[in-house]
């Protein structure tokens, strides 16, 4: 069934997950496995290609072409050559002593004089204010991606402060380019989403092939809703969507047939069987 899925994550999650793994007392082999799994998940989060394809590939299946439903298909992700920004971000980590988090580092780069900046005299650093061309949100995106791509590491000792990973060296020496995904502007994204939802409302999706099927589906759902209301329970307590869909596909003509559908136990059959059979019969007659 068409459904909406939300994936929300940020740098804080990456840092705390890495810390949890590194700081735990699992054997090294186990930690290595956990790190690989986390990296795979982060790779999925930061991916710029069709997410449906990625998920199916994980389960050994193929999706023919792009799904045109996931965020990456609906709003193709732009990537940008972030080599210079990455160099600034990394050298700011280095100049501040490799023990601060992305928030403070962003303040230093954008030249914001905070209490903390003054306390550590960071307004004197060569990296202070060199990153004014990017907004704090953009720097936060840069830092998140530098961590997920393994150029920066969270230091458990320094409460999640960021430190340079070995992989950062070639970038700092100008031997390696860094390309990052350009995160959509939150305001623009919200507007696009609203527009898309409005379009969807105008033209509701038909989940089923024939109009008759669609009508029966709606009738089955209406019956379920009214029974649920009568009994003051959520609809899924009457029948799960999967059971209802099975009823739609099989169109049982008798209690016996209905009872063979998974999710229809003896007591549900006795309580609701006749009513649902009537819905199917009525739909058939209308057809």
Pairing of strands 179-182, 78-81: antiparallel
73 or 279, CB closer to Zn ion?
73
76 or 265, CB closer to Zn ion?
76
With both helix axes pointing from N to C terminus, report the angle between 266-286 and 211-231 in degrees, rounded to the nearest 10.
140
50 or 277, CB closer to Zn ion?
50
47 or 66, CB closer to Zn ion?
66
- In order of 28, 210, 241, 248, 283, the CA distances from 224 in angstroms are 52, 21, 10, 13, 15
Supply the minimum distance, in Å, between the C-beta of residue 198 and Zn ion: 21
Q: Which residue's structure tokens are 């320094």?
A: 158
67 or 255, CB closer to Zn ion?
67
Contact between residue 139 and residue 109 where contact means Cβ atoms under 8 Å apart = yes
Q: Which residues of the chain form contacts with Zn ion (CB under 5 A)?
A: 50, 52, 66-67, 70, 73
67 or 156, CB closer to Zn ion?
67
CA–CA dist 104, 116 (Å, integer): 8
CA–CA dist 275, 287 (Å, integer): 19
Beta-carbon contacts of 74 under 8 Å, excluding residues fewer than 6 positions away, are 68, 196
CA–CA dist 44, 51 (Å, integer): 8
72 or 243, CB closer to Zn ion?
72
Supply the minimum distance, in Å, between the C-beta of residue 44 and Zn ion: 12
Count, residues in the chain: 287
Contact between residue 18 and residue 144 where contact means Cβ atoms under 8 Å apart = no
Supply the minimum distance, in Å, between the C-beta of residue 214 and Zn ion: 25
Supply the minimum distance, in Å, between the C-beta of residue 170 and Zn ion: 33
% helix / strand / coil in the chain, to the nearest 5? 60, 5, 35
User: How many CA atoms are closer than 13 Å to the CA of 142, on its beta-carbon side?
Assistant: 26
34 or 46, CB closer to Zn ion?
46
CA–CA dist 133, 149 (Å, integer): 23
- In the chain, the N- to C-terminal Cα span, in Å, equals 24
* Geometric angle at alpha carbon 112, from 107 and 114, rounded to 5°: 85
Contact between residue 246 and residue 261 where contact means Cβ atoms under 8 Å apart = yes
Supply the minimum distance, in Å, between the C-beta of residue 48 and Zn ion: 11
Supply the minimum distance, in Å, between the C-beta of residue 144 and Zn ion: 22
Supply the minimum distance, in Å, between the C-beta of residue 69 and Zn ion: 6
Supply the minimum distance, in Å, between the C-beta of residue 197 and Zn ion: 18
């Amino acid at each position: 069934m068409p459904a909406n899925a939300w994936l929300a994550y940020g740098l804080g999650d990456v840092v705390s997950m890495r810390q949890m793994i590194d700081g735990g007392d699992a054997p090294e082999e186990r930690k290595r496995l956990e790190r690989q799994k986390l990296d795979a998940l982060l790779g999925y989060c930061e991916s710029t290609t069709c997410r449906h394809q990625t998920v199916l590939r994980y389960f050994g299946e193929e999706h023919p072409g792009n799904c045109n439903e996931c965020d990456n298909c609906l709003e193709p992700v732009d990537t940008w050559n972030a080599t210079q920004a990455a160099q600034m971000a990394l050298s700011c980590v280095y100049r501040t002593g490799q023990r601060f988090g992305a928030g403070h580092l962003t303040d230093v780069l954008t030249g914001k004089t905070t209490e903390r900046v003054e306390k550590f005299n960071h307004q004197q650093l060569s990296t202070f204010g060199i990153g004014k061309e990017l907004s704090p949100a953009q720097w936060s995106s840069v830092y998140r991606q530098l961590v997920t791509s393994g150029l920066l590491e969270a230091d458990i000792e320094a409460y999640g402060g960021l430190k340079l990973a070995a992989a950062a060296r070639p970038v700092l020496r100008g031997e390696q380019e860094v390309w990052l995904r350009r995160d959509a502007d939150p305001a623009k994204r919200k507007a696009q989403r609203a527009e898309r939802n409005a379009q969807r409302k105008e033209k509701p999706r038909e989940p089923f092939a024939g109009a008759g099927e669609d009508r029966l589906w709606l009738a089955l759902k209406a019956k379920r809703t009214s029974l649920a209301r009568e009994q003051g329970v959520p609809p899924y307590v009457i029948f799960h969507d999967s059971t209802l869909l099975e009823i739609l596909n099989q169109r049982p003509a008798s209690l016996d047939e209905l009872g063979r559908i998974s999710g229809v136990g003896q007591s549900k059959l006795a309580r609701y069987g006749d009513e649902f059979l009537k819905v199917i019969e009525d739909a058939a007659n209308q057809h």
